[in-house]
Amino acid sequence: MSAAQPVCVLIGALGGEGGGVLASWITGAALAQGLPVQSTSIPGVAQRTGATAYYIEIYPRPAAELAGKEPVFALFPNPGTVDIVVASELLEAARAMERGFVTPDRTTLIGSTHRIYAVAEKSVPSDGRFDATRAHAAAAELSKRAVLSDFAKLARDHDTSLNATLLGAIAGTGILPIGDDGFEAAIQAFGKARDANLRGFKAGIELVRGTRPPAPATAETKRPSPRTPVAKDLIDGATAYPRSMAATVHEALARLVDFQDRRYAQSYLDRLDRVIKAERDLQGEAFQFHLSGEVARQLAVWMSFEDVIRVADLKTRPDRLARIRDEVGAAPGQRLMLTEFLKPGVEEWCGLLPGIIGRPLFGMFARRNLTERFNIGIRVRTSGILGFTSLYLLARLRFWRRHSMRFHDEQQAIEAWLDMVCDALRQDYRFALEIVALAALRKGYGETRRRGVDKSDRIVEALVRPGLSHGQVAAPAAAEAMRAVREAAMADADDTVFDRLLEGFAAAAANAPAGQAAQ
């Protein structure tokens, strides 16, 4: 036994998910059984809430049997030497695999499959989410055994913490030289939330060993729906659309009534019907609602744009506050300090004013290059009366939205977009689809929205208008150019590729004779 090697455990956890407590439970259980153990923590970069790696080495023989000798432990994990990798979130599991800590001859990978999206995933205009299927495929290939499940949901179902269910999963593998009772004793010794942690620990064990208990009835309906009731005639209008669109239209109507009012939701149907008619006139009996379905989705998002009124409304909703209390584990009656970080700029505040005032005021700031200088972040403590009341009153300005410069500008832009879609339908179907997809750039808030709108406007001027004016021959080439440029606009972090592509295609379109495609 003199050649026994330490059992190595690597834990990757985000801030607030109890990674430190999980490491303490493991080391505490090992020490209680007289096993030599060493634990180190390695702080990471705060991409979401701060990721920290905890590394533990446990010698499998009690110190009393070593005749005074002490094992030599490593401070950091090395690829190929880790027995258990624990990830509190799927991207953390992917990072461990990418760094070589998961190997097929040795490593058991335990990972929760829920997601907390990184800044890089949320900052791109398109869907920047990490492809979860890649992580699952890599886990199956790279690990000796993969235990991937939504341990966060398991914790919620049993009203406990994520780290407790993960500890149960570790115990369930049987790899560590510690019995279930040793881990239970460590939880008891920790002293906090003993019953809940023991409940989560047992749920994790039973999941790994194939005897997962039924989830207790913790009704998902305990949080009130944020949606405003939709009038019956609007619901009937949604069901009149084909099945492929009805669900989207119904959700859109609920969203727009919630955003503004019933009249605004009706205008959504009127706009959508206009596009459906244009597509039906083009395709006749072969009409499949494909383009109209895309318009239905993009139009709903665009019409419920995020202004300061909307942001204040979402931040003060009772269901959001209840969700935050649940996430942080606040007890009933326990005071929760909640501070919101907001950064509305000159454009956002001017957008609340009528155009006759807001437009010249914003122009004055822009001419003097003061728009960024006054883009100052503010902190509002919504757990206090003053902070909550200020945002609550701002959210109640929904009636004023129709009189604001931002609302007027958005409606004009939407109508211009729909005009281009209908015009393009008469030239080339793919060209029209690409114009529809441009709406994805015009969403978000603050700097993200400004960059997206600027890119969209540049694409319209450089490719859409020349494509429409050059006729049916130019439209297919314009569609191909738009697809390449739009994809670059959505994926390019610093706009380098986008700028280069747009300049090249724009030059070709400008030099092409009328009626010919830009190559």
Residue 295 lies in a domain: yes
If asked whether residues 233 and 345 sit together in one domain, one would say: no
Q: Where does a domain end: 271, 304, 337?
A: 304
Distance CA 330, CA 340 (A): 18
If asked whether residues 205 and 253 sit together in one domain, one would say: no
The domain that holds 106 is classified in CATH as 3.40.920.10
Distance CA 8, CA 38 (A): 10
Distance CA 487, CA 505 (A): 14
If asked whether residues 278 and 335 sit together in one domain, one would say: no
Q: Where does a domain end: 169, 188, 218?
A: 218
Distance CA 406, CA 358 (A): 9
If asked whether residues 231 and 214 sit together in one domain, one would say: no
Residue 104 lies in a domain: yes
If asked whether residues 446 and 380 sit together in one domain, one would say: no
If asked whether residues 48 and 142 sit together in one domain, one would say: yes
If asked whether residues 214 and 232 sit together in one domain, one would say: no
Distance CA 14, CA 152 (A): 13
| pLDDT reported for residue 237 | 66
If asked whether residues 58 and 133 sit together in one domain, one would say: yes
Residue 438 lies in a domain: yes
Q: Are strands 51-58 and 145-149 parallel, antiparallel or unpaired?
A: unpaired
Render each residue's pLDDT in the chain as its tens digit; 519 residues. 346 889 999 998 876 677 888 999 999 999 999 999 999 987 765 444 457 889 999 999 998 888 888 888 988 899 999 999 999 889 889 989 999 999 999 999 999 998 887 766 766 666 667 788 888 999 999 999 999 999 989 998 888 889 999 999 999 999 999 999 999 999 988 877 788 999 999 999 999 988 654 444 333 333 334 455 666 677 776 667 877 788 889 889 999 999 999 999 999 999 999 999 888 888 776 667 889 999 999 999 999 998 999 989 999 888 888 878 776 667 777 888 888 888 788 888 889 999 999 999 988 988 888 777 777 778 888 888 898 899 999 999 999 999 999 999 999 999 999 999 999 998 888 999 999 999 988 887 777 788 888 889 999 988 888 888 876 556 777 888 888 888 888 776 667 788 888 888 777 766 655 544 444
Three-state secondary structure string covering 25-39: HHHHHHHHCCCCEEE
Residue 2: DSSP 8-state: T
- The CA-based dihedral angle spanning residues 391, 392, 395, 397, taken in that order and rounded to the nearest 10 degrees: -110
If asked whether residues 31 and 159 sit together in one domain, one would say: yes
Residue 442 lies in a domain: yes
If asked whether residues 146 and 86 sit together in one domain, one would say: yes
Residue type for 103, please? T
Distance CA 466, CA 435 (A): 13
Q: Give the angle subtended at the CA of 299 by the CAs of 296 and 301, to the nearest 5°.
A: 110
Q: How many domains does the chain divide into?
A: 4
Domain that holds residue 289: 224-304
Distance CA 129, CA 173 (A): 31
Residue 138 lies in a domain: yes
Q: For 260-354, where are the alpha helices, taking DSSP H only?
A: 262-283, 290-303, 308-315, 318-328, 346-351
Which residues are CB-contacts of 121 (< 8 A; sequence separation ≥ 6)?
A: 128, 129, 130
Residue 206 lies in a domain: yes
Residue 37 lies in a domain: yes
Q: Is-contact 289 279, C-beta < 8 A? A: yes
| pLDDT reported for residue 49 | 47
Q: Where does a domain end: 277, 304, 331?
A: 304
If asked whether residues 193 and 228 sit together in one domain, one would say: no
Residue 508 lies in a domain: yes
If asked whether residues 394 and 453 sit together in one domain, one would say: no
| pLDDT reported for residue 387 | 87
Residue 438: DSSP 8-state: G
